[in-house]
Each structure stands twice: as C-alpha cells, then as structure tokens.
C-alpha cells in the first residue's frame, strides 16, 4: 500500500476483499475479532463470519440456511452474539426469531419462539444488548408493523416489556412510523432510526 513504509504513516489493513456481499462489521468487546454478515445470493443465504482484527483466521459462525438478518450484536462481555434467523422469511411459514450463540458459533439458543410467518405471526429482530448485558433491545412486528421492546438477555424470563409505543392508531390500524435500527449507548440511552419518517430518535430515562 503506498505510503505504508513511511514512519509517520498509518498503515490500513484490508481484512478481506473480493466478495461483494460482506456487510455490517462489528468489533468484539476485546478488540481482537471482527464479525460481519456475508450475503451469498442477493438478500438470501446470509451467514455470520468472523475474522481476526489483523485479517487472520476467517471462519463461518452460522450456516447459510439460518438466513440471518444484517444486524447482529455482541454481548458486552464478549461471550455471546445475538442474531435474527429466518429474517427474510425464506421459510414463509416460520417467523423471524432471535438466536444467540458463543463467539465460536457453538451453544446455540433461541431467545424468542414466535411462529406464523411474516403476515400472520409475530417476528422478533435483534437490536443490541444493554451496557450491563442483562437485557436485549429488540423489534417485534407483524407484516412490517410493530415497535421496540426489551427482554432479558438469558432467555430465562421470557417477558417482553414494550417501552416505545404510539406508532399505531388503533381506530384506523394505521402506523405513523417504523422503528427499524437501534443502538444502545454506554449511558443506557438508545438511538432509534425510523425508516418510514427518515428520523433518528434518542431515548433516555429520567430518574
């Protein structure tokens, strides 16, 4: 790379290349690993891969048949990764659900167990872990309409507590927005993007 030999230069490392379907890189909490989603065919056949921060040890963490969503999240302690499987409803009779596993892809565990598919059933999409790792923010929706919720990260307490509502006019069943991507900040507040209105919200709590 031109200029990499100069003492004052910062040399960038190309971790991986030659594959047009690589997206959504996330760095592990210890800073040693980068995970990313690889799309094998358009918006289908999506799998999670991992590679060392220096470009070494490329490995596949999920099979393509899982059809995971682009968004995935590391737990703050680096022990688990959360993804959404069947995200594009390649299996139309099945719903999208949140799946977690260890950093090497083992010890897989579903945290949600919705069914019914995109139109008739509820679907859960991974958001992010809370800073203390105790909760996961997720999106719950039916037929592309829904809202955000919080649940326990270990899956032992399956309750889901909605905390961002008001998008649905119950009299007309019309939605005034669609919160889609979100990120929890170190102070506990949440950034939420609304792809229907083109807005970004910051949600915080007053004590």
The predicted model gives 122-139 an average pLDDT of: 90
Residue 203 pLDDT grade (very low, low, confident, very high; cuts 50, 70, 90): confident
pLDDT tens sequence across 39-52 = 887 667 899 999 99
Is the pLDDT confidence value at 33 over 70?
yes
- Reported CATH class of domain 22-158: mainly beta
Q: Enumerate the domain spans of the chain.
A: 22-158
Listing DSSP states for the chain in one string gives -TTTTSTTPPPP-----S-TTEEEEEE-TTSSEEEEEEEEETTEEEEEEEEETTS---EE-S-GGG---S--EE-TTSSEEEEEESTT-SSTTB--EEEEEETTS-S-EES---BSHHHHS-EEEEEEE-TTSSEEEEEEEETTEEEEEEEETTSSS--EEEEE---EETTTTEES--EEEEEE-TTS-EEEEETTTTEEEEE----
The predicted model gives 127-143 an average pLDDT of: 88
| pLDDT score, position 192 | 84
Query: Pick the residue with more confidence: 2 or 142?
Result: 142
Query: Pick the residue with more confidence: 194 or 68?
Result: 68
| pLDDT score, position 163 | 67
Is the pLDDT confidence value at 101 over 80?
yes
Is the pLDDT confidence value at 1 over 50?
no
């Amino acid at each position: 790379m031109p200029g990499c030999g100069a003492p004052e230069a910062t040399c960038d490392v190309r971790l991986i290349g030659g594959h047009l379907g690589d997206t959504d890189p996330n760095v592990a909490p210890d800073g040693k690993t980068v995970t990313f989603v690889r799309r094998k065919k358009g918006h289908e056949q999506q799998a999670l891969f991992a590679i060392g921060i220096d470009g070494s040890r490329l490995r596949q963490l999920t099979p393509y048949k899982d059809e995971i969503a682009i968004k995935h999240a590391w737990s703050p302690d680096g022990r688990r990764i959360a993804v959404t499987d069947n995200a594009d409803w390649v299996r139309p009779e099945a719903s999208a659900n949140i799946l977690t596993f260890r950093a090497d892809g083992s010890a897989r565990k579903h945290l949600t167990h919705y069914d019914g598919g995109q139109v008739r059933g509820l679907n859960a999409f991974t958001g992010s872990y809370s800073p203390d790792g105790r909760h996961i923010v997720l999106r719950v929706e039916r037929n592309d309409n829904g809202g955000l919720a919080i649940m326990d990260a270990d899956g032992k307490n399956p309750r889901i507590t909605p905390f961002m509502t008001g998008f649905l006019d119950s009299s007309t069943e019309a939605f005034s927005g669609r919160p889609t991507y979100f990120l929890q900040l170190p102070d506990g507040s949440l950034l939420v993007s609304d792809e229907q209105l083109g807005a970004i919200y910051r949600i915080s709590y007053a004590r």
